[in-house]
Amino acid sequence: MIGNMMINKFVRAAAVLLGLSLVALVPVSVAQTEPAAAPAAAPAQAAPPDAPSAAPANGAGLQLKATGTKVGTINIEQAIFASNEGQRDFQALSKKFEPKQNELKSSSDEIDSLQKQLSAQQDKLNDEAREKLVKQIETKKKAFDRAQQDAQEDFQSQQGEIGNRILTKMAPLIVQYAANHDFGLILDTSQQWPRSPVLWNGPAVDITQPIVEAYNTQSGVAAPTGPTKKPTTTGAVTKPAAPATKPATTTPNK
Protein backbone atom coordinates (compact mmCIF):
# COMPACT_ATOMS: atom_id res chain seq x y z
CA MET A 1 0.00 0.00 0.00
CA ILE A 2 1.12 3.55 -0.61
CA GLY A 3 1.15 4.88 2.92
CA ASN A 4 -0.29 4.76 6.47
CA MET A 5 -2.95 7.59 6.64
CA MET A 6 -6.89 7.07 6.03
CA ILE A 7 -8.90 8.76 3.14
CA ASN A 8 -8.88 9.11 6.80
CA LYS A 9 -8.56 11.13 3.64
CA PHE A 10 -10.03 8.23 1.82
CA VAL A 11 -13.37 9.78 1.33
CA ARG A 12 -12.72 13.13 2.88
CA ALA A 13 -11.16 14.96 0.15
CA ALA A 14 -14.25 11.70 1.73
CA ALA A 15 -12.39 12.55 0.82
CA VAL A 16 -11.26 11.66 0.70
CA LEU A 17 -14.55 7.97 2.76
CA LEU A 18 -12.17 9.02 0.31
CA GLY A 19 -9.90 13.44 -1.48
CA LEU A 20 -13.22 12.24 -2.72
CA SER A 21 -16.20 14.36 -3.66
CA LEU A 22 -18.49 11.80 -2.07
CA VAL A 23 -20.05 13.56 0.86
CA ALA A 24 -21.80 16.18 -1.21
CA LEU A 25 -23.95 13.76 -3.16
CA VAL A 26 -26.12 12.12 -0.56
CA PRO A 27 -27.06 15.01 1.78
CA VAL A 28 -28.15 17.17 -1.14
CA SER A 29 -30.13 14.39 -2.75
CA VAL A 30 -31.82 13.29 0.44
CA ALA A 31 -32.72 16.84 1.42
CA GLN A 32 -34.55 17.63 -1.78
CA THR A 33 -38.28 18.07 -1.20
CA GLU A 34 -39.71 18.10 -4.71
CA PRO A 35 -39.91 14.94 -6.86
CA ALA A 36 -39.09 15.02 -10.53
CA ALA A 37 -42.03 15.22 -12.89
CA ALA A 38 -43.43 11.79 -13.74
CA PRO A 39 -46.00 10.69 -16.32
CA ALA A 40 -49.53 11.01 -14.95
CA ALA A 41 -50.38 7.46 -15.97
CA ALA A 42 -47.55 5.95 -13.96
CA PRO A 43 -48.91 4.86 -10.55
CA ALA A 44 -46.69 5.19 -7.49
CA GLN A 45 -45.21 1.92 -6.30
CA ALA A 46 -45.49 1.12 -2.63
CA ALA A 47 -42.12 0.77 -0.92
CA PRO A 48 -41.36 -2.23 1.29
CA PRO A 49 -41.93 -1.40 4.94
CA ASP A 50 -38.63 -2.64 6.33
CA ALA A 51 -35.53 -3.39 4.27
CA PRO A 52 -34.51 -0.91 1.56
CA SER A 53 -35.30 -2.07 -1.93
CA ALA A 54 -32.72 -2.51 -4.64
CA ALA A 55 -33.10 0.89 -6.22
CA PRO A 56 -31.91 1.31 -9.81
CA ALA A 57 -28.33 2.47 -10.18
CA ASN A 58 -29.38 5.31 -12.48
CA GLY A 59 -30.45 7.38 -9.50
CA ALA A 60 -34.21 7.04 -9.95
CA GLY A 61 -34.52 6.44 -6.21
CA LEU A 62 -33.27 9.98 -5.58
CA GLN A 63 -36.59 11.37 -6.83
CA LEU A 64 -38.53 10.26 -3.75
CA LYS A 65 -40.17 13.05 -1.81
CA ALA A 66 -38.77 13.66 1.67
CA THR A 67 -41.97 13.59 3.73
CA GLY A 68 -40.58 12.01 6.92
CA THR A 69 -39.84 13.87 10.13
CA LYS A 70 -36.90 11.94 11.59
CA VAL A 71 -33.26 12.99 11.24
CA GLY A 72 -30.71 10.26 10.66
CA THR A 73 -26.98 9.96 10.11
CA ILE A 74 -24.72 7.82 7.95
CA ASN A 75 -20.96 7.53 7.73
CA ILE A 76 -20.59 7.44 3.96
CA GLU A 77 -16.88 6.72 4.18
CA GLN A 78 -17.43 3.75 6.44
CA ALA A 79 -20.39 2.47 4.42
CA ILE A 80 -18.37 2.44 1.19
CA PHE A 81 -15.36 0.74 2.74
CA ALA A 82 -17.36 -1.74 4.82
CA SER A 83 -19.35 -2.99 1.84
CA ASN A 84 -18.16 -6.28 0.37
CA GLU A 85 -17.54 -4.59 -2.96
CA GLY A 86 -15.55 -1.81 -1.31
CA GLN A 87 -13.37 -4.21 0.65
CA ARG A 88 -12.75 -6.33 -2.43
CA ASP A 89 -11.84 -3.42 -4.69
CA PHE A 90 -9.70 -1.54 -2.16
CA GLN A 91 -7.78 -4.71 -1.33
CA ALA A 92 -7.12 -5.17 -5.04
CA LEU A 93 -5.96 -1.56 -5.34
CA SER A 94 -3.57 -1.92 -2.40
CA LYS A 95 -2.18 -5.11 -3.92
CA LYS A 96 -1.71 -3.34 -7.24
CA PHE A 97 0.44 -0.65 -5.61
CA GLU A 98 2.66 -2.99 -3.59
CA PRO A 99 5.46 -3.03 -6.23
CA LYS A 100 5.55 0.77 -6.24
CA GLN A 101 5.56 0.77 -2.44
CA ASN A 102 8.54 -1.59 -2.42
CA GLU A 103 10.32 0.56 -5.00
CA LEU A 104 9.85 3.67 -2.87
CA LYS A 105 11.03 1.81 0.23
CA SER A 106 14.18 0.75 -1.59
CA SER A 107 14.87 4.33 -2.70
CA SER A 108 14.29 5.62 0.83
CA ASP A 109 16.69 3.06 2.29
CA GLU A 110 19.35 4.02 -0.25
CA ILE A 111 19.07 7.69 0.68
CA ASP A 112 19.22 6.87 4.39
CA SER A 113 22.38 4.83 3.79
CA LEU A 114 24.05 7.72 1.95
CA GLN A 115 23.05 10.13 4.71
CA LYS A 116 24.61 7.86 7.34
CA GLN A 117 27.74 7.68 5.20
CA LEU A 118 27.88 11.47 5.04
CA SER A 119 27.36 11.81 8.78
CA ALA A 120 30.07 9.28 9.60
CA GLN A 121 32.67 10.49 7.10
CA GLN A 122 32.07 14.20 6.68
CA ASP A 123 34.98 15.19 8.91
CA LYS A 124 37.30 12.93 6.90
CA LEU A 125 36.15 14.06 3.46
CA ASN A 126 37.66 17.01 1.65
CA ASP A 127 35.32 19.76 0.45
CA GLU A 128 35.00 18.36 -3.07
CA ALA A 129 34.13 14.83 -1.93
CA ARG A 130 31.71 16.13 0.68
CA GLU A 131 29.87 18.37 -1.76
CA LYS A 132 29.70 15.54 -4.30
CA LEU A 133 28.07 13.24 -1.75
CA VAL A 134 25.67 15.97 -0.60
CA LYS A 135 24.64 16.65 -4.19
CA GLN A 136 24.11 12.92 -4.82
CA ILE A 137 21.81 12.70 -1.80
CA GLU A 138 19.86 15.81 -2.81
CA THR A 139 19.37 14.50 -6.37
CA LYS A 140 18.11 11.14 -5.15
CA LYS A 141 15.85 12.78 -2.60
CA LYS A 142 14.25 15.02 -5.24
CA ALA A 143 13.63 11.98 -7.47
CA PHE A 144 12.15 10.13 -4.47
CA ASP A 145 9.84 13.02 -3.60
CA ARG A 146 8.55 13.23 -7.17
CA ALA A 147 7.99 9.48 -7.39
CA GLN A 148 6.22 9.39 -4.03
CA GLN A 149 3.94 12.30 -4.94
CA ASP A 150 3.08 10.77 -8.32
CA ALA A 151 2.31 7.42 -6.71
CA GLN A 152 0.18 9.03 -4.01
CA GLU A 153 -1.81 11.07 -6.53
CA ASP A 154 -2.34 8.02 -8.73
CA PHE A 155 -3.43 5.93 -5.74
CA GLN A 156 -5.84 8.59 -4.48
CA SER A 157 -7.28 9.06 -7.96
CA GLN A 158 -8.04 5.37 -8.38
CA GLN A 159 -9.28 5.21 -4.81
CA GLY A 160 -11.67 8.05 -5.56
CA GLU A 161 -12.94 6.33 -8.69
CA ILE A 162 -13.81 3.23 -6.65
CA GLY A 163 -15.55 5.26 -3.96
CA ASN A 164 -17.57 7.35 -6.38
CA ARG A 165 -18.62 4.29 -8.36
CA ILE A 166 -19.90 2.55 -5.24
CA LEU A 167 -21.61 5.69 -3.92
CA THR A 168 -23.42 6.21 -7.22
CA LYS A 169 -25.09 2.83 -6.71
CA MET A 170 -25.49 3.21 -2.94
CA ALA A 171 -27.14 6.66 -2.97
CA PRO A 172 -30.55 5.44 -4.22
CA LEU A 173 -30.58 2.82 -1.48
CA ILE A 174 -29.96 5.49 1.14
CA VAL A 175 -32.82 7.62 -0.13
CA GLN A 176 -35.14 4.62 -0.41
CA TYR A 177 -34.29 3.53 3.13
CA ALA A 178 -34.89 7.06 4.45
CA ALA A 179 -38.29 7.20 2.75
CA ASN A 180 -39.29 3.76 4.05
CA HIS A 181 -38.36 4.65 7.63
CA ASP A 182 -39.82 8.15 7.94
CA PHE A 183 -36.53 10.05 7.71
CA GLY A 184 -36.76 13.58 6.37
CA LEU A 185 -33.04 14.31 6.53
CA ILE A 186 -29.86 12.21 6.47
CA LEU A 187 -26.54 13.79 7.49
CA ASP A 188 -23.09 12.47 6.66
CA THR A 189 -20.76 11.87 9.62
CA SER A 190 -17.65 10.84 7.67
CA GLN A 191 -15.89 13.85 9.16
CA GLN A 192 -16.01 15.05 12.74
CA TRP A 193 -17.44 18.34 13.86
CA PRO A 194 -16.73 21.18 13.08
CA ARG A 195 -16.03 19.91 9.56
CA SER A 196 -19.24 17.94 9.77
CA PRO A 197 -22.60 19.63 10.51
CA VAL A 198 -23.23 16.93 13.14
CA LEU A 199 -22.02 17.90 16.61
CA TRP A 200 -23.18 14.67 18.26
CA ASN A 201 -25.28 11.67 17.35
CA GLY A 202 -26.23 8.34 18.86
CA PRO A 203 -26.39 4.87 17.31
CA ALA A 204 -30.20 4.88 17.28
CA VAL A 205 -30.28 7.34 14.37
CA ASP A 206 -27.31 5.90 12.44
CA ILE A 207 -28.26 3.93 9.33
CA THR A 208 -24.75 2.98 8.17
CA GLN A 209 -24.97 -0.75 8.94
CA PRO A 210 -28.40 -1.39 7.40
CA ILE A 211 -27.30 0.43 4.27
CA VAL A 212 -24.16 -1.71 4.06
CA GLU A 213 -26.25 -4.86 4.45
CA ALA A 214 -28.74 -3.72 1.81
CA TYR A 215 -25.95 -2.81 -0.59
CA ASN A 216 -24.25 -6.18 -0.11
CA THR A 217 -27.54 -7.88 -0.96
CA GLN A 218 -28.03 -5.73 -4.05
CA SER A 219 -24.46 -6.07 -5.33
CA GLY A 220 -24.25 -9.81 -4.81
CA VAL A 221 -20.53 -9.51 -3.98
CA ALA A 222 -19.40 -12.09 -1.45
CA ALA A 223 -17.61 -11.02 1.71
CA PRO A 224 -13.83 -11.07 1.22
CA THR A 225 -11.81 -13.65 3.10
CA GLY A 226 -8.99 -12.81 5.47
CA PRO A 227 -8.38 -9.64 7.51
CA THR A 228 -9.27 -6.31 5.96
CA LYS A 229 -8.12 -2.79 6.71
CA LYS A 230 -8.82 0.61 5.31
CA PRO A 231 -6.76 1.73 2.34
CA THR A 232 -4.01 4.21 3.09
CA THR A 233 -2.46 6.94 1.03
CA THR A 234 0.79 8.20 2.55
CA GLY A 235 3.31 7.54 5.24
CA ALA A 236 4.39 3.91 4.78
CA VAL A 237 7.65 5.14 3.34
CA THR A 238 9.28 7.72 5.58
CA LYS A 239 10.46 10.69 3.63
CA PRO A 240 14.23 11.08 4.11
CA ALA A 241 15.45 14.31 5.61
CA ALA A 242 17.43 16.68 3.43
CA PRO A 243 21.19 16.38 3.91
CA ALA A 244 23.05 19.21 5.54
CA THR A 245 24.98 21.29 3.05
CA LYS A 246 27.71 21.93 5.58
CA PRO A 247 29.13 19.67 8.28
CA ALA A 248 28.53 20.56 11.90
CA THR A 249 32.24 21.14 12.39
CA THR A 250 35.00 21.83 9.93
CA THR A 251 38.61 20.76 9.99
CA PRO A 252 41.31 22.23 7.79
CA ASN A 253 42.43 20.12 4.87
CA LYS A 254 45.83 18.56 5.26
Q: What is the pLDDT of residues 64-106, one digit of tens each?
A: 666 778 999 999 999 999 999 999 999 999 999 999 999 999 9
| pLDDT tens figures, 36-63 | 343 444 444 433 334 444 444 434 445 5
Per-residue confidence band for 198, with pLDDT thresholds at 50, 70 and 90 = confident
| Mean predicted lDDT score pLDDT of the chain | 75
In angstroms, the CA 132 to CA 135 distance is 5
- The answer to whether position 192 is within a domain reads yes
In angstroms, the CA 106 to CA 104 distance is 5
- The answer to whether position 138 is within a domain reads yes
Long-range contacts (CB closer than 8 Å, 24 or more residues apart) made by 198-203: 198/73, 201/73
**Whole-prediction pTM value?**
0.65
In three-state secondary structure terms, 188 is: strand
Return the pLDDT at 231.
59
Return the pLDDT at 197.
84
Return the pLDDT at 132.
93
On whether the CB atoms of residues 160 and 19 are closer than 8 A, the answer is yes
The whole domain housing 82 covers 25-32+60-219
12: exposed, middle or buried (Cβ count in 10 Å: 0-12, 13-18, 19+): buried
Return the pLDDT at 111.
96
Per-residue confidence band for 21, with pLDDT thresholds at 50, 70 and 90 = very low
Selection from 114-123, 228-237, 242-251 with the highest mean pLDDT: 114-123
Instruction: Give yes or no for residue 183 having a pLDDT over 90.
Output: yes
| DSSP structure class, residue 24 | T
- The answer to whether position 179 is within a domain reads yes
| Residue positions counted in the chain | 254
In three-state secondary structure terms, 145 is: helix
Return the pLDDT at 232.
56
Give the chain's domain count. Answer: 1
- The answer to whether position 199 is within a domain reads yes
- The answer to whether position 102 is within a domain reads yes
